[in-house]
Amino acid sequence: MAKEEAEAARALVKLADGTVKQRNQLTGTQVWTVPGRGHRPLAKPQINPTPITAKDYTCTCAFCSDRYLETPPEKSRVILSSGELPPSKTVTAESFRILEGLSAEELDKYPADFRRIPNLFEIVSYQYWNLNYGHEPSDRQRQHMAEYLSTRTGYDHILRVVRAKLHQYGMEDAEIDALNESEMLGQASSFFSGGHDLIVANRHFVPGATDSSQLASAGTLTPDEHYAYTAYTARTLRDLYDLNPAVKYVATFQNWLKPAGASFDHLHKQLVAIDEYPVQISQERERVRKEPDIYHTILKIRATRGLILAQNEDAIAMAGVGHRYPTIAVWPLGQAGNPWDVGERKMRAVSDILQAVHAATGADVPCNEEWYHRPLSISTPMRWRILLKWRISTLAGFEGGTRIYLNTIDPWGIYKRIVPRLKELRAAGKIADMRIGEETKVLPSDLD
């Protein structure tokens, strides 16, 4: 253990001139922070924001609530408000309700807080699974598709979305018109049995917004809303493992704002089933096998170096070490477990911490949220955790030629920026109650 701790201490070193050198203990990634390069503003405010109207709240992009028929048919939705729902289609999940199997005519009848919809332009397509692994829709999915197509609105919706998809793939109107009904509807199987889903939030703008810069980010959700968003994502993650026996991993992430890869500035997560273990997961698996106490060692070094940002009874946030971009890591405490297994209390704890660091980061900062977990077919006790990465710099020639990455903000810089903001948000009642900065007390045994 002493050897591992000594190695961990060398993974975060500040030199005499102020340069900070970091090495990620799970991946080996090398990062330098050079003095004078970290004083740039994080936020990238919208240039010339425009006034918005009441219609813009629900009609700005294809993910908005007045444009449901521009996206593929949803798989389910979360309903947080009280009210009568069709009981045969409602699933209670912890403290919120999931509504499944709505027809096109019912989409506006039961307002959604979050929706699970197929990605129209999949990273790993239905055809990939179908042609390489013989994947076909399940009986339940076939029934849902048949029920959806049985109404005129649903039928027209599916054909319109299929047409839009084929246009994006470069087909001309004449080519699409030449397809028969069977060929057109065959393209719709991906909407009901694909492996790339989105979890889309309801709001495009914050309540009371007056211009286009006031976007609704993860940090603007209430803790209750964010909990439903997080738990719903975990449920979807587990569900996608059942897509096909060849699924080895489900990548789960959130791109916020276009510089971070978002197609729309509308809050949503993405989940993609893939048939290989990612490089990150393979590297981490080998490291954990060689050093079973690696997570305890990482936590101890972060705590002793003053890098714990926030803590509640079951989760923590800490400044990340050895990442290409400034990063905040959110870890559940206690024994290692996958997100769908941790239970309501721990899921709520993780969600509260995550919502708080999103709020402290700010809605104007482009960022990626990345989930890491243990694949179902691996027994190595890898820990579920979530990384929030600020996309505030662009990789360039130095990084490409050396594989040493220049991160403009070192871990202590993250602490200095985030901790005061967390305290302000806590005082204003915008985040859940938690211990912050110097109030925290974290021990390696908290992972047992």
Q: Which CATH number fits domain 1-66+113-123+196-448: 3.30.428.10, 3.40.718.10, 3.40.50.620, 3.40.50.300?
A: 3.30.428.10
Measuring CA to CA, how many Å separate 364 from each of 37, 138, 185, 225? 20, 42, 41, 20
What 84-87 contacts at long range (C-beta under 8 Å, 24+ apart), as own/partner pairs, is: 85/110
- The full set of domain ranges for the chain reads 1-66+113-123+196-448
Distance from C-alpha of 118 to C-alpha of 190, rounded to nearest angstrom: 8
pLDDT means per 10 residues, the chain with 448 residues, are 67 92 92 75 77 96 96 95 78 84 92 96 94 95 94 95 88 88 89 97 97 97 97 97 97 96 95 97 95 95 95 98 95 96 96 98 97 96 97 82 90 96 98 98 95
User: pLDDT, tens digit, for every residue of 294-322?
Assistant: 999 999 999 999 999 999 999 999 999 99
Give residues with Cβ within 8 angstroms of 197, minimum separation 6: 75, 116, 117, 118, 119, 236, 240, 270, 271
Burial class (CB in 10 A: 0-12, 13-18, 19+), 176: middle
Amino acid letter at 408? Answer: T
Q: Tell me if residue 42 falls in helix, strand or coil.
A: coil
Measuring CA to CA, how many Å separate 129 from each of 192, 243, 310, 357? 13, 9, 42, 37
DSSP-derived pairing of the beta strands 30-33 and 404-406: parallel
Q: Which of 303, 289, 280 is nearest to 8 (CA)?
A: 303
Task: Classify residue 268 by its DSSP letter.
Answer: E
Q: Which of 340, 361, 350, 342 is nearest to 316 (CA)?
A: 350
pTM of the model as a whole:
0.94
Task: Classify residue 127 by its DSSP letter.
Answer: H
